Amino acid sequence: MSVPRIRAPRLRPRWGRSVALWAASAVLLVYVLAPVAWLLSSSFQSEREIVSRPPHWIAQKPTLANFAAIFSAGERSVTYETRRAADPASGGYIPSTASSLVPALGNSLIVACAVVMLNLLVGVPAAYAIAKIRFRGRQASLYAILATRVIPDIALVVPFFLLIRNLGLLDSLWSLIITYLAVTVPFSVFILVSYFESLPDELDKAARVDGCSRAQTLTRVYLPLALPSIVAVMLFAFLASWNEFLLALMFTQTPKSQTLPIIVASFTSDFTISFSFINAAGVIAIIPPVILAIAFERYIVSGLTTGAVKG
Partner 1 sequence: MARIRLNGVSKRYGDVVAVRALNLDIRDREFVVLLGPSGCGKSTTLNMIAGLEELSAGELWFDDALVNGIPPHHRDVAMVFQSYALYPHKSVYENIAFGLRMRGMAAAELDRRVQEAANKLELAGLLGRRPSQLSGGQRQRVALGRAMVRQPAVFLMDEPLSNLDAALRISTRAQIKHLHEEMRTTFIYVTHDQAEALTLADRIVVMKEGMIEQVGTPDEVYERPRSMFVASFLGNPPINYLEGAIEGEAGAPVFRHGSLRIGLPAGKLRRVGGAPVMLGIRPEDVLHDGVPGNSVLTGIVDSVLPVGSDRFLGLKVEGCDVFVRVDKASHHVQGERVSFALVAERLHLFDKASGASLLDARA
CA distances from 171 to 14, 255, 288 (A): 60, 9, 24
Residue 81 lies near partner 1 (rule: CB under 8 A): no
Residue 124 lies near partner 1 (rule: CB under 8 A): no
Residue 213 lies near partner 1 (rule: CB under 8 A): yes
Residue 206 lies near partner 1 (rule: CB under 8 A): yes
Rg, C-alpha atoms of the chain: 26
Residue 209 lies near partner 1 (rule: CB under 8 A): yes
Question: Which range touches partner 1 (CB under 8 A), out of 23-31, 153-161, 181-189, 208-216?
Answer: 208-216
256, 76 contact by CB (below 8 A)? no
Question: Which range touches partner 1 (CB under 8 A), out of 79-87, 88-96, 121-129, 207-215?
Answer: 207-215
Please tell me the distance from the alpha carbon of residue 112 to that of residue 259, in angstroms, as a whole number.
10
The Cβ-side half-sphere exposure at 117, using a 13 Å CA radius, reads 7
Residue 211 lies near partner 1 (rule: CB under 8 A): yes
Question: Minimum Å distance from CB 227 to partner 1?
Answer: 9
17, 28, 200, 287: which one binds partner 1 (CB under 8 A): 200
DSSP annotation of 73 reads G
Pinpoint the alpha helices (H) of 199-256: 201-209, 214-216, 223-225, 227-243, 246-251
SS (H, E, C) 143-184: HHHHHCCCCCHHHHHHHHHHHHHHCCCCCCHHHHHHHHHHHH
Question: Minimum Å distance from CB 123 to partner 1?
Answer: 21
Question: Minimum Å distance from CB 219 to partner 1?
Answer: 12
Question: Minimum Å distance from CB 223 to partner 1?
Answer: 10
1, 2, 137, 202: which one binds partner 1 (CB under 8 A): 202
Q: Which residues bind partner 1 (CB under 8 A)?
A: 200, 202-203, 205-213, 216, 221, 224-225
